[in-house]
Amino acid sequence: MPVISVPYAFNEEELYVDLRPTFGHSLFLKCEGFNFAGSIKLKAATEMVETAEREGILRPDSILVESSSGNLGVALSMIAASKGYRFLCVTDSRGSLSTRMMMEALGSQVHVIAGQEANGGFLSARIEFIRSLCASDDRYVWLSQYTNPSNWKAHYRRTGPEIARQFPQLDVLFVGAGTTGTLMGCARYFRGWHRPVRIVAVDSVGSVSFGGASGRRMIPGLGMSMRPPLLDESYVDEVIRVEEADTIRTCHRLARRGFLFGGSTGTVVSGATSWLARHDAPDITSVAVSPDLGERYLDTIYQTNWLQDLYGDDVLNSEEVAAGAWAPAPAPPKRWRRRLGLQTGDRNGDHHQLQDRQT
């Protein structure tokens, strides 16, 4: 029985959901939402704060400030409250009301950026506000999750090894791409592992992280309106982009089985199951990383009026959600292993390479 004195000392590391009964594919979902912050962002937040403390950047009178669409803000609010720091989260109008209320309940301040950019994003406006704040008062300490190497190092040291311990024969790993901290940490860890692991990044349609046109994105968490500074594409074998409508359908399909996951998780699972359907790969070991749970999305992706206003009346077809008829199908021949290079150790298989991302 774990006994803790600070909330960031606990994180469930070994819980996986077998998604074969729901989607018909061999896929294990690593659940990262079972901690007091409710998401995988607890790992990065803890690493960034403790590194700043070791380096003398954080002082007793420091005020933490960070840009976040929600989950990192909650994690930093919790850590700041536990350690006695003040914290200001700079977010935007896409963040959920429940997330803002949670941060405020933990004693943090929340500043909401209202002005949307020409590309449909808010990120540059959030960052500009933080820079102005830091220039006006040297008590403000910006951890900068977008550029801070402690972001990816948290997953190199923890998330990657956790998966490796449970799945020593891992073939494919699906990781959502936001700041790309989780993606880069896991990818770097498995690059030096004892067997080749195919790293598949899952991004949202409308994100410009891997190039391509920007577009409307209403579900916070994954995707960026600028290229992530932490991203090194040489560690990524393939990129899958997921439409928000498919994210929503996946979340609701999981909910019909009693699993209430968040929007980031719905995106990752949608991308992973579509990849597995295309490759007809029943005998591989595949894992997807679930960043969050669903209670912070009750007023958005699980709220009928919100869905209908943004995506239309047909975004949730009950038969499709129940039976999974929307999942991509045809499958290529079962020679996929040789073509993907998983038997030979070649990380540059010729199917769905990085060059194909623009499709």
* Token couple for 256: 């019909």
Stretch 309-319: mean pLDDT: 79
Asked if 7-34+149-346 and 41-142 have one fold, the answer is: yes
pLDDT at 324 over 60: no
pLDDT of residue 115: 63
pLDDT at 231 over 80: yes
Q: Write out the H or E segment, with its range, that includes residue 41.
A: helix 41-54
Q: In what order do the strands lie in the sheet with 86-92?
A: 109-113, 86-92, 63-67, 140-142
Residues 22-69: pLDDT tens digits?
Answer: 999 999 999 999 999 999 999 999 999 999 999 999 999 999 999 998
Query: Is domain 41-142 in CATH 3.40.50.1100, yes or no?
Result: yes
Please give the radius of gyration of the chain, using alpha carbons only, rounded to the nearest integer: 20
Contact by Cβ (8 Å): 231, 180? yes
Q: Which residues pair with 17 in a beta bridge?
A: 29
- List C-alpha distances in Å: 70 to 100, 150, 169: 7, 19, 34
Long-range CB contacts (< 8 A, 24+ apart) of 326-335? 326/246, 326/249, 327/23, 327/273, 327/274, 327/277, 328/274, 328/277, 328/278, 329/277, 330/278, 331/277, 331/278, 331/279, 331/280, 332/278, 332/279, 332/280, 333/280, 334/280
Contact by Cβ (8 Å): 249, 320? yes
Q: Write out the H or E segment, with its range, that includes residue 45.
A: helix 41-54
Amino acid at 319: E
What topology is assigned to 7-34+149-346 in CATH? Rossmann fold (3.40.50)
pLDDT at 359 over 90: no
Token look-up 């040489």 returns 234
The domain locations on the chain are 7-34+149-346, 41-142
Stretch 98-107: mean pLDDT: 94
| pLDDT band with cut points at 50, 70 and 90 for residue 349 | very low
pLDDT at 292 over 80: yes
Stretch 62-90: mean pLDDT: 95
Residues 144-154: pLDDT tens digits?
Answer: 999 999 999 99
| Residue percentage of the chain with pLDDT more than 70 | 86
